[in-house]
Amino acid sequence: MTVLTGPAPMANSEQMANAIRALAMDAVQQANSGHPGAPMGMADMAVALWGRHLRHNPQDPHWADRDRFVLSNGHGSMLLYALLHLTGYDLPIQELKNFRQLHSKTAGHPEVGVTPGVETTTGPLGQGLTNAVGMALAEKLLAAEFNQAGHTVVDHHTYVMLGDGCLMEGISHEAVALAGAWRLSKLVALYDDNGISIDGQVAPWFIDNTPKRFEACGWNVIGPVDGHDADAVDKAIAKARAQSAKPTLIVCKTHIGKGSPNRANTSKAHGEPLGAEEIALTRAALNWPYAPFEVPAEVYADWNAKEAGAQAQAEWSQRFAAYRAAFPELAAEFERRMAGDLPKHFAQTAVDAVVEAHTKGDTVASRKASQIALEAFTAKLPELLGGSADLTGSNLTNTKSTPALRMDAKGAVAKTEDGQIGRHINYGVREFGMAAVMNGIALHGGFIPYGGTFLTFSDYSRNAIRMAALMKQRVIHVFTHDSIGLGEDGPTHQSIEHAASLRLIPNLDVWRPADTAETTVAWSVALSNRDKPTALLLSRQNLQHLSALAPKRNLGDISRGAYVLSEPKDVGLKKKAQAVIIATGSEVQLALKAQRLLAAKKIAVRVVSMPSTTAFDREDVKYKKAVLPTGVPRIAVEMGVTSGWWKYGCAAVIGIDTYGESAPAPVLFKHFGFTEENVAATVLAALKRK
């Protein structure tokens, strides 16, 4: 269904574009910082898209069936801020005057959750394009799941503008290939092909045949078209919308800094203010005789999308009301999922899963424990959308409730015999792309994405993980093979610094559970984290269930990140702890065994399991002191770099500050000192020093 929310093609499209150019150069000049060239060059493209095609309602930026727009080349943020201001979003002119200033709604790069109408935080090039792929995939899957005959409630496009820098970043290759494989026909990308980057003309270092590259990945390619001819871009967008087989790339030839007599087509227009003299010359060249930040009323009127947006949303609301009358359960489920609310039964589902894991007491690898937990959660939460970077058989992210996502011969989402859509994605060997696609899925709404790979490859995903944390998105990363315990693959695959590195990312929850119960709790917390992503670090090797060594532990405290697992009295000593051993993951069983060795020597030790340092660090001081009492030596044990553990006031840390080795896991444990005997000896040495 096509609903136009802006004006039809009109004679003053040029003035509409010039308003963007003027606001961009004025804001950058006032801030004495920013990128005026891209907004000035892309202004006519914006007129075609935002003025004639984009379905959105400035008065309700979160309308579920709005078109999504992503500015992947986020350094051109003034393009988006000008559009939001001009079309009627809650972004007054004063905010444009405060461009790049502290606490303004117009940060240097667009930030979701800060500026109304911004769909994703962009700036790291290539990720916006990949987020858009995730958004388009979410739309396609939701449409396949919820739309019914005669009732279409999910029907919107995803548009993304991008530049040369986005296409140079390697992640763009991953994203483009996935979009083509998934036949995302409602994804339209507009390429600002101006041939300029910070270092100048890109020709010496960027010789890709971009149209052929996209065609090879299964895209529909239109152009080149004149990016300064709004009517030509308008027709290209209409052509893209008319086809239903492939995603579309529209190649728009433009001039960076369009209108600037001396800066257009140069890198000088890219990342610095034009200067007062050049701005005056540009105003004259554009026939824009208005003062800085002044836009004439007739141009505001041409841009205003409030009335048309409200009408488009009202029409959708009528369709949704009819849908609700015909399919009340589906309508309620759609609203719940788009709101990001977990089902009412989730708390009980989580409790049941944890109790079952504890009762069964399986001795399995924590990667298998994760799959067991996922079996319970995916059966009850249809919004869980899993995947793997070509390692499904190793990271075990698939379940009985999550058939593989596949497209049929016509490009539609294939369904199982009982009508279910695929909920497990084969991302291929594309960790970075997977992570950024998951961010786009989460931003779109309707799904909670999770995806798996080896922990050592989290380095490939890291910037997208950081972006999820910055954007406060519920995205779950399943990282298996979390230590030297993976054995013979050697140091290239053995994670040493990765746990510590991930823990440094603000607003990222990191869990390294020790058995099935802790793993299930970690999953329940991750699913409950509405405003942060989670990384689950899981073992390849089997882990003895802790109930065999610590039968009296309190399951209710696991979610707090650290808890007292075993006291001296649990191993037959009726006295206060003389030392505390802190351990995570596979090393917790070593701590418990060392506790028993020391008990035989009448040395009283408390064992603390700390599956999540990030969760524990959020606890209050009272709880922290209750778990880690003052005046008692603390010894941490983890198969990774030692640096992050000293903040807990440790007397000693048993870790690895070198790379691993290639050998069977048991040999490596002994070689690097991860034995109960060495843990016990380290405790004794710490007590002697005290």
Residue 8 DSSP code: P
**Rounded to an integer, what distance in angstroms lies between the CA atom of residue 32 and that of residue 100?**
9
Q: What is the mean pLDDT of residues 577-593?
A: 98
Going 179 to 461 to 383 to 339, the CA torsion angle's sign is negative
pLDDT score, position 492: 96
- Does pLDDT of 9 surpass 50? no
Q: Which residues pair with 563 in a beta bridge?
A: 609
pLDDT score, position 10: 47
Q: Which residues pair with 248 in a beta bridge?
A: 188, 220
- The pLDDT tens digits for 239-295 are 999 988 999 999 999 999 999 999 999 999 999 999 999 999 999 999 999 999 999
Q: Which two tokens stand for residue 85?
A: 């201001």
**Rounded to an integer, what distance in angstroms lies between the CA atom of residue 520 and that of residue 67?**
37
- The pLDDT tens digits for 31-54 are 999 999 999 999 999 999 999 999
Give burial (CB, 10 Å; 0-12/13-18/19+) of 329. Answer: exposed
Contact 455, 480 (CB under 8 A): yes
Q: What is the mean pLDDT of residues 612-633?
A: 97
Q: If DSSP states are collapsed to H, E and C, what string results for 375-437?
A: HHHHHHCCCEEEEECCCHHHHCCCCCCCCECCECCCCCECECCCCCECCEEECCCCHHHHHHH
- What is the full DSSP assignment across 574-606? -S--SEEEEE-GGGHHHHHHHHHHHHHTT--EE
- Does pLDDT of 2 surpass 80? no
- The pLDDT tens digits for 112-122 are 999 999 999 99
Of the candidates 135, 114, 24, the one whose C-alpha atom is nearest the C-alpha of residue 76 is: 24
- Total residues found in the chain within this entry: 690
Residue 106 DSSP code: -
Query: Is position 294 annotated as part of the catalytic site?
Result: no
- Does pLDDT of 8 surpass 50? no
pLDDT score, position 690: 73
- What separation in angstroms does the CA of 445 have from each of 339, 384, 405, 406, 614? 7, 11, 18, 21, 26
- Does pLDDT of 6 surpass 50? no
**Rounded to an integer, what distance in angstroms lies between the CA atom of residue 181 and that of residue 187?**
13
Q: What is the mean pLDDT of residues 200-206?
A: 95
Query: How large a percentage of the chain has pLDDT more than 90?
Result: 97
AA letter at 327: F
Catalytic residue, chosen from 431, 518, 587, 638, is 431
pLDDT score, position 11: 52
pLDDT score, position 45: 98
Residue 561 DSSP code: S
**Rounded to an integer, what distance in angstroms lies between the CA atom of residue 488 and that of residue 516?**
25
Q: Which two tokens stand for residue 638?
A: 């983890």
